[in-house]
Structure 1
Amino acid sequence: MIGIISDIHGNHVALSTVLNKLDELGIAEVICLGDVGGYYCQINECCETLRQRNIKTIMGNHDWYLAKGEACPRSNSANDCLNYQRKVITSDNLAWLASLPERALVHDVDIVHGGWNDPIDEYVRPSSEYFAAFAGKYFASGHTHVQHVWSNGEKTYCNPGSVGQPRDGDPRAAFATWDGNSFHIHRVEYDIGKIQREMALAGFSPYYSENLSKGASIGGKISAL
């Protein structure tokens, strides 16, 4: 059994809660589908926890923005958060983000952050037609922040949802597990008020974190499959 996490986005409060739950479940191996960076203020704590626990991590689009010094093309709010993280991230943690691979195969699961046409920044809507183009049986990616499992009997896909910024209307931190044959999705409550207070201490207005109480993106949008 392995744990699958994604889209932490600098929210160490949520990450710690999810990892504690995985420990309670007796799951020693965890993989991360990217976006350690972006949005919330605890980027160093998140990087250091993943590094200390030797959690295999692949690169997400926000990790890429940080590593390459690029801006997010879609969101001024995201860029405000990235600019903050660029000021506080340590050189070691930035180098670690820059070293992350874009794709990996772990226990027969083909993993990327976005999709298999664009590992960094594709939003996958799973279908038989989509996965017919790719070899393999089991697939997992993040990026959409919407948790679900899809299967057509031949191919199975899992999006574990977001640890640090769920967008499906459920504010609980999301993750998944893999038992070698099936994906299982999980949610766990965490102290949302704590990360909101940390964001305020870092100089952010409530606009940048009030969405966490709603399970929405910054600005309040709730996403669907």
Structure 2
Amino acid sequence: MKTAFISDIHGNYEALKSVLADIDRLDVDRIYCAGDVVGYYSQINECCRTLREREIPCVMGNHDWYMAGGGFCPRSRSVNDCLAYQRTIIEDDHLEWLRSFPVQMRIDEIRLVHGGWGDPIDEYLKPTAEYFDRVQGSVFVSGHTHIQTVQRFGEKIYCNPGSVGQPRDGDPRAAFAVYETGDFTLHRVEYDMQKVFDLMDAAGFNDYYYGSLKTGARNLRRLADD
């Protein structure tokens, strides 16, 4: 069975459309999302609606958690600026859908979380053999870092499919991964970034909030940066 994994969509519907079109071209059997459907960009309703219509199961990401629970991020002003805006536009049924997300999931031999197995929602996982020696299972998928990778540790294999909506590994193309017969393949796809920029401008956000999409670099304002 061929299984696609997506993660960290962050309201970037243009990227999501391109990723799903490429996944459909690959004729996969099922798709799962490693969290963070919302956050950062303006088309959160379109992203939620598409995943719901396609019945794509999701685990809870930290941005989903902030939105569902009414909280804010302790680390980033820009995250909180975007959350405040998104709370004014999210449709009620999508908000309830976010609240239904589990924090972890098992798909056959695969263990899926957003962060890590110490903190499923908000752990920035640094995969090592020592780390996975402490975790039961053989196949692992998580998101959160926005950095696409596949690593083997003996009989265990770990994959971060990368970010659909905000890559941070130096490649601005939207990312996803496919699992089949014990191994992962990593994929990247181009999408219409200008549409994202125009919509963010229309929502009152300048290049500071979306400029990192052009290069696939990290660009977050920290709460300490006063």
The interval holding the TM-score normalised by the smaller chain is over 0.9
Counterpart in 2 of 1:162? 163
Deviation for aligned residue 1:107: 2.8
- Match of 1:56, SS state, is coil
The answer as to whether partners of 1:77 and 1:218 remain within 8 angstroms in 2 is no
- Match of 1:87, SS state, is helix
Counterpart in 2 of 1:223? none
Map residues 73-92 of structure 1 onto 2, 5 A cutoff.
73-92=74-93
Counterpart in 1 of 2:224? none
The answer as to whether partners of 2:150 and 2:159 remain within 8 angstroms in 1 is yes
Map residues 11-30 of structure 1 onto 2, 5 A cutoff.
11-30=12-31
In the aligned structure 2, how far is the partner of 1:44 from the partner of 1:112?
Answer: 23
Map residues 87-106 of structure 1 onto 2, 5 A cutoff.
87-106=88-107
Counterpart in 1 of 2:118? 117
The total of aligned residue pairs comes to: 220
Deviation for aligned residue 1:153: 2.1
- Match of 2:105, SS state, is strand
Counterpart in 1 of 2:137? 136
Query: Deviation string for 1:161-210 (max 9, x for gaps)?
Result: 00000001100000000003101111111111111111111111111111
Deviation for aligned residue 1:216: 1.7
In the aligned structure 2, how far is the partner of 1:107 from the partner of 1:54?
Answer: 18
- Match of 2:140, SS state, is strand
Structure 1 stretches lacking a partner, 5+ long: 221-225
Query: Deviation string for 1:41-65 (max 9, x for gaps)?
Result: 0000000000000001110000000
- Runs of 4 or more consecutive aligned structure 1 residues displaced over 3 Å after TM superposition: none
Counterpart in 2 of 1:39? 40
Aligned AA (2:120): P
TM-score for both structures, normalised by structure 1: 0.96
Counterpart in 1 of 2:194? 193
In the aligned structure 2, how far is the partner of 1:89 from the partner of 1:191?
Answer: 23
Structure 2 stretches lacking a partner, 5+ long: 222-226
Counterpart in 2 of 1:5? 6
Deviation for aligned residue 1:81: 0.4
Aligned AA (1:16): K
The answer as to whether partners of 1:146 and 1:167 remain within 8 angstroms in 2 is yes
Query: Deviation string for 1:111-151 (max 9, x for gaps)?
Result: 00000000000011111110111111000000000000010
The answer as to whether partners of 1:107 and 1:180 remain within 8 angstroms in 2 is no
1:202 aligns with 2:203: yes
Aligned CA distance change for structure 1 residues 112 and 219 (closer, same or farther; 3 Å): closer
Deviation for aligned residue 1:219: 4.7
In the aligned structure 1, how far is the partner of 2:211 from the partner of 2:124?
Answer: 24
- Percent identity between the two aligned chains: 56
Query: Deviation string for 1:68-121 (max 9, x for gaps)?
Result: 110100000000001111110011000000110000001311000000000000
In the aligned structure 2, how far is the partner of 1:219 from the partner of 1:97?
Answer: 24
Bigger mean CA deviation after superposition, 11-20 or 192-201: 192-201
